[in-house]
């Protein structure tokens, strides 16, 4: 099959290593490899380790942005968080001099500021809203991997520091700890490559999930999120990614990459070994190969 063949071509590439800074991720089987594509009628095609669950990590960021945009509107959200690529790693400080506004919602600082915009009395309420939105994008009920969450929280001092900086600039209204723990929980939601491809497809088809048929967010919200992914989704590799692959995308340190081919496909790949940008080596390579073979480059 076509997708199996694509994985076979990519399998020999064994450079990179699973994320080391979160103990639960460092233990991931580095040889896992999976790919999924979802088309306009909701047909899902998968290959490789498509049953393996892993945590969504930074791939949660576009969907929390979608929730913020859907509930608060574009002006409120982009008044708080910028829309410019930072050219810096995902965990850099990346705050605008003077205002302390984070560069964009895809780097950690901007993602934490975005999570702070989600209404909720406490961690559980905010997390419930976020998970409800992610589940609607995926077309099934998702949940948090508690072990990864505890591991992230125990080693999350850099994100805590970013959140305190945001608070000092007035970009976090509530309690810093509530916001950071909500962020850790959103990153610890378990998904498969299939879930990610359905989520990407929901963005590709203007906010309507092609598998369930449900409208998840407005078309304008889906377009805004996809635009931010195009400019900022692959961190300080976003420019080269757009050049080579030509698709809005988002990576996560668990080894997933999801990509949006507007009106055509949602694509996702998974392989835990990461490059120096925190992007999966083989997941990126296989999405690039598909884009090339199917002529998906948008430009
Ligand atoms: O903030 C963190 O450290 C993680 N929750 C997510 C970072 C991440 O996935 C970066 N992506 N490549």
In order along its 299 residues, the chain shows pLDDT tens digits of: 689 999 999 999 999 999 988 888 888 999 999 999 999 999 999 999 999 999 999 999 999 999 999 999 999 999 999 999 999 999 999 999 889 999 999 999 999 999 999 998 889 999 999 999 999 999 999 999 999 999 999 999 999 999 999 999 999 988 999 999 999 999 999 999 999 999 999 999 999 999 999 999 999 999 999 999 999 999 999 999 999 999 999 999 999 999 999 999 999 999 999 999 899 999 999 999 999 999 999 99
**Ligand 1 site, CB within 6 A:** 57-58, 90, 108, 159, 187, 251-253, 278
Is 279 labeled as ligand-binding?
A: no
Ligand 1 atom at minimal distance to the Cα of residue 278? 12
The answer to whether residue 150 is domain-embedded is: yes
Domain count, the chain: 2
Give, for ligand 1, the residue of 108, 154, 269 to mutate: max count of ligand atoms closer than 8 Å to Cβ.
Answer: 108
1 Cα: distance to centroid of ligand 1 (angstroms) = 33
The answer to whether residue 48 is domain-embedded is: yes
Q: CA distances (Å), 253 to each of 26, 55, 56, 188, 299, in order? A: 10, 9, 8, 11, 28
The answer to whether residue 167 is domain-embedded is: yes
Is 253 labeled as ligand-binding?
A: yes
The answer to whether residue 171 is domain-embedded is: yes
The answer to whether residue 299 is domain-embedded is: no
Which of 143, 169, 187 terminates a domain? The answer is: 187
Considering the domain architecture, whether residues 50 and 195 belong to the same structural domain is answered as yes
Tell me the sheet residues that pair with 204.
Answer: none
Is 149 labeled as ligand-binding?
A: no
The answer to whether residue 218 is domain-embedded is: no
Considering the domain architecture, whether residues 88 and 50 belong to the same structural domain is answered as no
The answer to whether residue 15 is domain-embedded is: yes
Considering the domain architecture, whether residues 208 and 268 belong to the same structural domain is answered as yes
The answer to whether residue 118 is domain-embedded is: yes
Domain extent at residue 135:
58-187
Considering the domain architecture, whether residues 125 and 171 belong to the same structural domain is answered as yes
For the chain, the three-class secondary structure string (H helix, E strand, C coil) is CHHHHHHHHHCCCCCCECCCCCHHHHCCCCCCCEEEEECCCCCEEEEECCCCCEECHHHHHHHHHHHHHHHHCHHHHHHHCCCCCCCCCCCCCCECCCCCCECCCCCHHHHHHHHHHCCCCCHHHHHHHHHHHHHHHHCCCCCECHHHHHHHHHCCHHHHHHHHHHHHCCCCCCCHHHHHHHHHHHHCEEECHHHHHHHHHHHHCCCECCCCCCECCCHHHHHHHHHHHHHHCCHHHHHHHHHHCCCCEEECCCCEEEEEECCCEEEEEECCCECCCCCEHHHHHHHHHHHHHHCCCCC
Considering the domain architecture, whether residues 80 and 140 belong to the same structural domain is answered as yes
Contact by Cβ (8 Å): 25, 148: yes
93 Cα: distance to centroid of ligand 1 (angstroms) = 14
Is 179 labeled as ligand-binding?
A: no
- 171: domain CATH number is 3.40.710.10
């Amino acid at each position: 099959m076509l997708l199996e063949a694509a994985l076979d071509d990519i399998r020999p590439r064994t450079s990179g290593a699973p994320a080391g800074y979160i103990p639960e991720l460092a233990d991931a089987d580095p040889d896992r490899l999976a790919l999924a594509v979802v088309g306009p009628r909701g047909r899902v095609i998968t290959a490789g380790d498509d049953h393996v669950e892993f945590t969504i990590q930074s791939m949660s960021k576009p969907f929390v942005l979608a929730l913020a945009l859907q509930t608060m509107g574009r002006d409120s959200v982009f008044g708080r968080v910028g829309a410019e690529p930072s050219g810096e790693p995902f965990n850099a400080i990346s705050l605008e001099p003077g205002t302390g506004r984070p560069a964009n919602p895809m780097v950690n600082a901007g993602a934490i500021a975005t999570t702070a915009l989600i209404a909720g009395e406490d961690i559980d309420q905010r997390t419930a809203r976020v998970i409800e939105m992610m589940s609607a994008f995926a077309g099934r009920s998702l949940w948090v991997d508690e072990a990864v969450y505890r591991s992230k929280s125990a080693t999350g001092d850099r994100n805590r520091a970013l959140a305190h900086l945001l608070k000092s600039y007035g970009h976090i209204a509530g309690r810093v700890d509530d916001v950071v723990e909500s962020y850790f929980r959103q990153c610890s939601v378990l998904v498969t490559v299939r879930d990610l491809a359905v989520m990407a497809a929901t963005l590709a088809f203007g906010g309507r999930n092609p598998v369930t048929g449900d409208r998840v967010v407005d078309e304008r919200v889906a377009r805004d999120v996809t635009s931010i992914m195009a400019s900022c989704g692959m961190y300080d590799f976003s420019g080269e990614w757009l050049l080579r692959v030509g698709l809005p995308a988002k990576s996560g340190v668990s080894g997933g990459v999801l990509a949006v081919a507007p009106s055509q496909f949602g694509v996702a790949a998974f392989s835990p070994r990461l490059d120096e940008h925190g992007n999966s080596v083989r997941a990126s390579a296989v999405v690039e190969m598909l884009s090339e073979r199917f002529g998906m480059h948008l430009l």
